[in-house]
Amino acid sequence: MGSSELRSLVDYFMADEGIELNILSAVFFNKNNKIYSIKISGRTIHPDLRVNYDYLEELIPILSKFDELTELGIANYTDRVLPSSLGSLQHITNLYINESYNLFQEGSTDRSAKNLQSITFPKAVKHLAMGSNQITLRTLPGSIQDLDLTHLSLTGNRITTLPHWISKLTNLEEIWMRGNKIENMDELAPLKKLRVIQLGINKIQEIPAFIENLSSLEILELEENKLREIPTGLTKLTKLRQLRLNNNYISKIPHDLVLRADGLLDLEALIETNNFSSDEKNKISALLRIVPESTSGSI
């Protein structure tokens, strides 16, 4: 297998464009490691699946030759071990490893168990997504903490607690962990650059007091958890523009948030999907009549 195979694939689709292969910027694989999408010169192409790379191990040395290749996506990867050479793709900034649960199962073999703790990621990775992999806290690769991440997505897994090392990712701007079993947010306290926190469909029981110190926060999504209160500290987050707290056990909302509801949250849905009493609903309605057009939706 050589780079000529990949060149032939690109030339097949771009014969009239005169584009050189060195501007190949993204490659995505689906089941059986077949190429299902490539990106060149800003154009996304879905090639014929006749070209099949049976083993990712064989393809990595080829991909490492392309300096402009910054995105790599692997889905439905069937092997139990990622190639150790993955770390040699020194220009990859966006790495997606999704729906490849074989990689993160608590393996019955020494080889697969060792791989979970020794996965080598490309050092330049800023965006890492590993969704729907059945990852548990035990099988979450600790080597993630060695990356200088700005975006981390671990949606749809089986993680019960945020790993202690996540607090070391001080440049993290977005964390997406929707659909896990997480019970608290404590490890996020030092992450002052966070703009997006998406922890919907978990088991979080409270929004911690430190949330008011995350002054860069723009989006906070905690729908379908076990929340009972909304801290008044949320009113200090002047950059907050989206707040989702539907389907919890909340019975009150700070009045300052009511007055900011327009564009920030769906006040009607919040009240109807939580535990607001009739008396509390009446108080909110009265407040809105005092300050007209301060919120979207009626109660």
* Structure confidence by residue, pLDDT tens digits, 198-232: 999 999 999 999 999 999 999 999 999 999 999 99
Tokens linked to 201: 């469909």
Q: What is the distance between the alpha carbons of residues 47 and 13, in angstroms, rounded to a whole number?
A: 7
What average pLDDT does this structure show over 266-284? 93
Position of tokens 């092997």?
79
In angstroms, what CA-CA distances link 37 with 33, 74, 150? 11, 11, 25
Amino acid in the structure at residue 148:
D
Burial of 90 (0-12, 13-18, 19+ CB in 10 A): exposed
Residue-level pLDDT at 298: 40
More confident residue, 40 or 189: 189
pLDDT at 104 over 80: yes
What's the pLDDT tens digit per position in 155-210?
999 999 999 999 999 999 999 999 999 999 999 999 999 999 999 999 999 999 99
> H helices of the chain, where?
3-14, 56-63, 110-118, 255-259, 267-272, 278-290
Stretch 56-71: mean pLDDT, rounded?
Answer: 82
Determine the average pLDDT of the residues in 100-117: 65
Q: Are 170 and 148 in contact (CB under 8 A)?
A: no
Among 169, 217, 214, CA closest to 196: 217
Check whether 70 has a pLDDT greater than 90.
Answer: yes
Structure token pair of residue 109 = 């073999």
Which class would CATH give 3-290?
A: alpha beta
The pLDDT value recorded for residue 107 is 59
Instruction: Answer whether residue 291 shows pLDDT above 70.
Output: no
Nearest to 30 by CA among 121, 129, 127, 100: 100
| Rounded-to-integer distance, Cα 27 and Cα 74, Å | 9
Mean pLDDT of the chain: 84
* pLDDT higher than threshold 50 for residue 79: yes
Are the CB atoms for 98 and 53 separated by under 8 Å?
no
State the CB neighbour count (10 A cutoff) for residue 36.
15
User: What is the C-alpha to C-alpha distance for residues 122 and 144, in angstroms, rounded to an integer?
Assistant: 10
Residue 106 has pLDDT above 80, yes or no: no
Complete DSSP assignment for 113-176:
HHHHHH----TT--EEE--SS---TTTS-GGGGGS--SEEE--SS---S--GGGGG-TT--EEE
Structure confidence at residue 297 as a pLDDT band (50, 70, 90)? very low
Copy the structure tokens of residue 46.
């879905």
